[in-house]
Amino acid sequence: MQIPLEDFYEDIVGKAMRGLGVGESQLAAKTGVDPDTLRRLCRGEFSDETALAKVARALDLDPGSLLVSASKAWRPRPVSVDGLTLYNTPYRDMRVNAFLIADPHSGAAAVFDTGTDSSPILAEIENEGLRLEAIFITHTHNDHIADLERLRVGTGRAVPVFANRLEPWEGAESFDEGKKFAVGGLTIETRTTSGHSIGGTTYVVTGLERPVAVVGDAMFAGSMGGGMISHADALGNNREKILTLPDETVLCPGHGPLTTVGEEKRCNPFFPEFKG
């Protein structure tokens, strides 16, 4: 199943407007775009490239990338990594991702978030003879931990759960940013990427054929999570702690398809500084 993009261009514009505290009337005055045209653009009725480019510049978005998003001409190139499996489950009117990462040599494995149904994860662990050693929470919004208890005990033994100290969860062991974990031959480094949530965490996994970063809702393919706590912090953390990773790093977002650091530098409208 091809997982659709999480955000359309109007979602990106809306997140930028909310994050910057800019309403439609202010944006119309700042850009000179006719209010009716702007209203249609904000509803996803794209017809005026010049107007959308003006909106992009006013919201610190990259005009070219936003126009590509509006034309629905981009999605990230398919990517796969031996030892990485994505599980996409329904939650209300959307879908949410969870990830199983296993050391191909030792069979030791870790799960990142649970989605709403962990039964496919548990089936994979059993079928492949894996040993689940840890569950890592990117953030505690319900769609990401809805099936946590079943996953925790589903292998027949209680598996430790880990969460950032800034966003604790009952029954989870807390850690501070920079804590590293070993799962078989894999190393998992923790980076706080707050902004969407108060203790959102990116887990950088090395030891597979290429680096992997499980980013939760910090970033999506071609977009990012809304700055529910702080838009500025979300942008800054994404720039400093995710987009500084090697370009070949595979990004595993909480919603939407896999992407890479290189793709996001080239194509994500929120980061115009990488577009040259």
What pLDDT does residue 276 have?
A: 74
- Token reading at 8: 């359309």
Residue 1 pLDDT greater than 90, yes or no: no
The stretch 218-223 carries a mean pLDDT of 99
- Other Cβ atoms closer than 10 A to 127: 8
* Percent of the chain topping pLDDT 70: 100
Instruction: Give the pairing of strands 223-224 and 250-253.
Output: unpaired
Residues 39 and 13 sit within 8 Å (Cβ to Cβ): no
Measured in whole angstroms, how far is the alpha carbon of residue 202 from the centre of its chain? 9
Q: In DSSP terms, which residues pair with 251 in a beta bridge? A: 213, 259
pLDDT in tens, 93-142: 999 999 999 999 999 999 999 999 999 999 999 999 999 999 999 999 99
* Percent of the chain topping pLDDT 90: 97
List of domains in the chain:
9-70 (1.10.260.40), 84-274 (3.60.15.10)
pLDDT in tens, 136-174: 999 999 999 999 999 999 999 899 999 999 999 999 999
